[in-house]
């Protein structure tokens, strides 16, 4: 399995990266994590007819701005879009006028893309998908969710945007890979938004007994250079040595 980082910035795109999108290229499925600006590169990596599943962690614009590029793709196998239960209205708001682009002189919506789209509303457990997925609500401003997948006998946990909360260990426990946001270089004492720094992320990885921690979603206003990401990686490695700070187009073999 390959994990391809298509977008690793938080908030907005800069020369250091696009906004969030990650591809899990497994034996039987393509699994896409969030639909930030980095999603425009997706067709560069999707070359087989395996089913595609896109998981949306929440609906802040940096995680869903790529919805307006769905029209550029021509996925013969269609696209499955997954989000937490009761978030369908949020999704439909963003893929209908006035938030969309023209397609062949028509207004884009999910029903007239060049491929079929199936929507799935997920709960924490027992989701009707062909591989095990948990959708876990985490601590973030106006509801955010993380995902825990089992693919090829491996557990991959993805935080979306979150601070450390009651469900953080539930998400990450014994994961082969924890892909966790790292928006701050130093988290404020009063964490209203719900984000973490490298110290908080690495302590979680250690507590949850994960095998590998990959930091992503670096706030573009804080991490203005790759050198600052390197510093974050070094800080995290002092607590959890098997830590990597992601960059756009980085490929991790699992």
Sequential pLDDT tens for the chain (254 residues): 999 999 999 999 999 999 999 999 999 999 999 999 999 999 999 999 999 999 999 999 999 999 988 988 999 999 999 999 999 999 988 888 788 764 444 445 565 678 899 999 999 988 999 999 999 999 999 899 999 999 999 999 999 999 999 999 999 999 999 999 999 999 999 999 999 999 999 999 999 999 999 999 999 999 999 999 999 999 999 999 999 999 999 999 99
pLDDT in tens, 154-195: 999 999 999 999 999 999 999 999 999 999 999 999 999 999
Count Cβ atoms below 10 Å from residue 198 Cβ, excluding itself.
29
The CA-atom distances, in angstroms, between 85 and each of 48, 119, 143 are: 30, 11, 11
Question: Could you tell me the domains of the chain?
Answer: 2-253 (3.60.15.10)
pTM, entire model: 0.96
Reduce the secondary structure of 56-125 to three states and give it as a string: CCCCCHHHHHHHHHHHHCCCCCCEEEEEECCCHHHHHHHCCCCCCCEECCEECCHHHCCCCEEEEEECCC
């Amino acid at each position: 399995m390959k994990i391809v980082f298509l977008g690793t910035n938080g908030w907005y795109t800069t020369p250091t990266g696009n906004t969030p999108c990650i591809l899990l290229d497994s034996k039987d499925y393509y699994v896409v994590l969030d639909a930030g600006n980095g999603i425009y590169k997706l067709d560069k990596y999707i070359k087989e007819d395996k089913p595609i599943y896109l998981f949306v962690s929440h609906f802040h614009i940096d995680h869903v701005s790529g919805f307006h590029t769905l029209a550029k793709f021509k996925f013969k196998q269609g696209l499955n879009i997954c989000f937490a239960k009761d978030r369908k209205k949020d999704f439909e708001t963003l893929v209908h006028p006035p938030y969309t682009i023209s397609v062949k002189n028509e207004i884009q919506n999910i029903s007239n893309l060049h491929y079929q789209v199936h929507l799935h509303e997920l709960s924490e457990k027992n989701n009707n998908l062909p591989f095990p997925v948990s959708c876990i609500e985490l601590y973030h401003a106006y509801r955010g969710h993380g995902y825990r997948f089992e693919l090829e006998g491996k557990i991959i946990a993805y935080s979306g945007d979150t601070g450390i909360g009651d469900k953080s260990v539930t998400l990450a426990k014994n994961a082969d890979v924890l892909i966790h946001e790292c928006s701050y270089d130093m988290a404020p004492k009063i964490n209203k938004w719900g984000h973490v720094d490298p110290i908080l992320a690495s302590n979680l990885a250690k507590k949850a007994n994960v095998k590998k921690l990959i930091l992503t979603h670096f706030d573009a206003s804080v991490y203005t250079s790759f050198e600052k990401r390197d510093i974050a990686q070094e800080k995290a490695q002092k607590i959890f040595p098997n830590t990597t700070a992601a960059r756009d187009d980085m490929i991790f073999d699992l």
